[in-house]
Amino acid sequence: AQSVAQPEDQVNVAEGNPLTVKCTYSVSGNPYLFWYVQYPNRGLQFLLKYITGDNLVKGSYGFEAEFNKSQTSFHLKKPSALVSDSALYFCAVSWGYQKVTFGTGTKLQVIP
Amino acid sequence: EAQVTQNPRYLITVTGKKLTVTCSQNMNHEYMSWYRQDPGLGLRQIYYSMNVEVTDKGDVPEGYKVSRKEKRNFPLILESPSPNQTSLYFCASSLETSGRGSSYNEQFFGPGTRLTVL
C-alpha cells in the first residue's frame, strides 16, 4: 500500500537555526512528492515538489527538500528558521493516476 | 486573483439535516477534490473529479456525495450528516496534465469549512 509518514508530530527550533521536517514514503514505482504548509485558519499552500531530475528541490520562502531514493525520504529543510515559519507542514505523495496521500502533518514551532 | 472559495466557512448543524458545502475555483482547473482534516489523521481524500461529469471516490467517501456539472464548481453534499462527519473540510483544484492526471501538479486549496454535527 502507498503511504507517507511524518514521524514527528512537532519540531521545535530556535530562530536562526537550521530546520528539518522529516518525511518518508512507500510507493511502488516513481513517486511525485510534495510539501505543503498550513498557517492557522488557512488552507494548505504549496511549497515545493519533486517530479524528476535534480534530487535537491528549491521552493517558496527559502525552503528546500532533498529526494533520497535509497532511503525513501523527502525531508524539508531551511538553513535559517524564522518565527514566521511556525506552521503545520504536510508531506504528500502521488502515484498512479489521481491518487495522492498526505502525511499526518508536523507542527513546526520556531522559538524567538 | 486566482483562488478557491468555499462556503460556508463555519457550519453547525444537527444529525440528519442535509447540507451542501460549495466550492468554486476561477483558474479553469480540470481537477478538483475534497478532503477532510482530522487531528492525528492528516488530510484524507473524500472524492475527486477529473472534469465535468467525471467523479470518483477517494479514501473516505462514505456518507458524502459530489457533483460536477460545471468546471468551476464542485459541491460536497452530506445527505444525512452524522457526528462522525464533524471535521475541517478542504476543497482543492489543480491542472490536469494530460496522461498524468493531477498527480503531477500541485493543488490549490480553499480556506476550509469547519463543520460540526450535533
Q: What is the pLDDT along chain B (118 residues), one digit of tens a residue?
A: 889 999 999 999 999 999 999 999 999 999 999 999 999 899 999 999 988 999 999 989 999 999 999 999 999 999 999 999 999 999 999 987 655 555 678 899 999 999 999 9
**Cβ–Cβ of B103/A99 closer than 8 Å?**
yes
What's the gap in Å between the CA of A111 and the closest CA on chain B? 23
Residue B82 has a CB neighbour count (10 Å cut-off) of 11
Selected residue with higher pLDDT from B76 and A41: B76
Tell me, what's the pLDDT at B100? 54
| CA gap B112, B37 in Å, rounded | 9
Tell me, what's the pLDDT at B16? 96
* CB B113, CB B13: distance < 8 Å: no
* CB B43, CB B90: distance < 8 Å: yes
Selected residue with higher pLDDT from A41 and B89: B89
- Which of B41, B102, B110 is closest, CB to CB, to A43? B110
Q: How confident is the model at residue A76 (pLDDT cuts 50, 70, 90)?
A: very high
Hey, which residues does B42 pair with through a beta bridge?
B38
What's the gap in Å between the CA of A95 and the closest CA on chain B? 6
Q: Which residue of B has its CA nearest to A43?
A: B111
Lowest mean pLDDT among A23-27, A78-82, B81-85, B104-108: B104-108
